[in-house]
Amino acid sequence: MKSKNIVIVGATGAVGREMILCLKKCHFPVKNLRLVASEKSAGQKLETPFGKIKIETISEKVFAESDIALFSAGSGISKEWRDCVVKNNCLMIDNSSAFRYEKDTPLVVPQINPKAALKHKGVISNPNCTTAIAAMALWPLHKAFGLKKVIVSTYQATSGAGAKGMDELLQQTKEHLANKRLTKNIFAHQIAFNIIPHIDTFEKNGYTREEMKVSWETKKIFGDEKILVSCTAVRIPTFRAHSESIVIETAKPITPEKARKVLEKASGVEIVDDTLRNKYPMPLNASNKFDVEVGRIRQNLVFGKNGLEFFVSGDQLLRGAALNAVEIAKLFI
Ligand X SMILES: NC(=O)c1ccc[n+]([C@@H]2O[C@H](COP(=O)([O-])OP(=O)(O)OC[C@H]3O[C@@H](n4cnc5c(N)ncnc54)[C@H](OP(=O)(O)O)[C@@H]3O)[C@@H](O)[C@H]2O)c1
Q: Is 26 a catalytic residue?
A: no
CB of 210 to ligand X, least distance (A): 10
For position 37 contacting ligand X by CB under 6 A, the verdict is yes
List 3, 29, 31, 40, residue binding ligand X (CB under 6 A):
40
Site string for ligand X, 41-70 (x = CB under 6 A): x----------------x------------
Site string for ligand X, 116-155 (x = CB under 6 A): -------------x--------------------------
For position 247 contacting ligand X by CB under 6 A, the verdict is no
Which residue number, 207 or 303, has a Cβ lying nearer to ligand X? 207
With residue 212 as reference, give the H or E element that holds it. helix 209-222
Strand arrangement, sheet containing 228-232: 228-232, 147-155, 242-250, 307-314, 292-299, 269-271
Rounded to 5°, the CA angle 107-109-110 comes to 120
The answer to whether 159 and 165 have CB atoms below 8 angstroms apart is yes
CB of 222 to ligand X, least distance (A): 19
Q: In whole angstroms, give the CA distance from residue 165 to residue 171.
A: 10
CB of 256 to ligand X, least distance (A): 30
Q: Is 198 a catalytic residue?
A: no
The answer to whether 332 and 29 have CB atoms below 8 angstroms apart is no
Residues 6+ apart with CB under 8 A from 77: 9, 10, 58, 71, 96
Q: In whole angstroms, give the CA distance from residue 63 to residue 174.
A: 42
List 6, 7, 12, 116, residue binding ligand X (CB under 6 A):
12
- Cβ neighbours of 259 (radius 10 Å): 24
List 106, 110, 160, 281, residue binding ligand X (CB under 6 A):
160
Positions marked catalytic? 129, 242
Site residues for ligand X per CB under 6 A: 9-16, 36-38, 40-41, 58, 72-75, 77, 95-96, 129, 159-160, 162-164, 316-317, 320-321
